[in-house]
Chains A and B, each alone.
Chain A
Amino acid sequence: GQQLNQSPQSMFIQEGEDVSMNCTSSSIFNTWLWYKQEPGEGPVLLIALYKAGELTSNGRLTAQFGITRKDSFLNISASIPSDVGIYFCAGQNDGDKLIFGTGTRLQVFP
């Protein structure tokens, strides 16, 4: 099935550092979503983006919907150990199915 490309694939950072990850697609999406998944759990929605160019924050998280509608990035500032997990982007078009990214695995060391 179709997947979105996320980079980096994994990140190992020290507590307090900022994190940036992005997601790209060959096709346009009208909505971009970012999820976090912890081991043995389902994904939890972090941020939803509905408009090209939109920049949205949720606490230490900031995400942007690319102008071309083919990409999005997620930033996490001042990382903490509980940020550990796998971050997935997902694209969606007007009631169509969610297409998930390949995931970015984040490890934070104290």
Chain B
Amino acid sequence: GAVVSQHPSRVICKSGTSVKIECRSLDFQATTMFWYRQFPKQSLMLMATSNEGSKATYEQGVEKDKFLINHASLTLSTLTVTSAHPEDSSFYICSAGRWIEAFFGQGTRLTVV
């Protein structure tokens, strides 16, 4: 089946620094990828829709200048958390593919200290 890979799986960073998370579709091309955030014991909340070759679409309440999304190719989308703060600590998950056939990455556990 289709595989979506996220990297890194875990990252710890200092407050104020930026962190980049990669999401790759390994065996198919994805014009659209999606980024979710999941806090402990909570559900997945869609942050933004990443569109290849164009600007990402952000959900209400998600700061586009803080969560930079780049979808430069049909197999790679990146999420950069800029000037990270402890409250940004969360589990970030990407998905790729058509909505009904969305495949999820393994997730990235971000801890900001």
- Show the binding face of A for B, using Cβ within 8 Å: 1, 3, 31, 33, 35, 40-45, 48, 50, 88, 92, 95-98, 100-103, 105
Contacts and interface: CB of A to CB of B under 8 A. Distances in A.
Contacts, number: 56
Contacts of B46: 1, 97-98
16 contacts: A1-B46, A1-B59, A33-B100, A40-B91, A40-B109, A41-B107, A42-B93, A42-B104, A43-B44, A43-B104, A48-B100, A92-B100, A95-B99, A100-B45, A102-B42, A102-B43
A97 B104 contact: no
Grouping DSSP codes into helix (H, G, I), strand (E, B) and loop, the A interface class, with mixed when no group exceeds half, is loop
B99 A103 contact: no
A48 B99 CA distance: 11
Contacts of A43: 44, 93, 104
A85 B78 CA distance: 28
- Considering residues B4, B99, B107, which has the most beta carbons from chain A within 10 angstroms of its beta carbon? B99
Interface of B: 4, 6, 9, 34, 41-46, 49, 59-61, 91, 93, 95, 99-100, 102-107, 109
A41 B46 CA distance: 16
Given A42-B95, A42-B105, A42-B107, A1 B100 contact: no
A22 to B, nearest CB: 15
A101 B102 contact: no
A42 B43 CA distance: 11
Sorted nearest first, the 6 A-B pairs with minimum C-beta distance are A42-B104, A100-B43, A100-B44, A42-B93, A42-B107, A43-B104
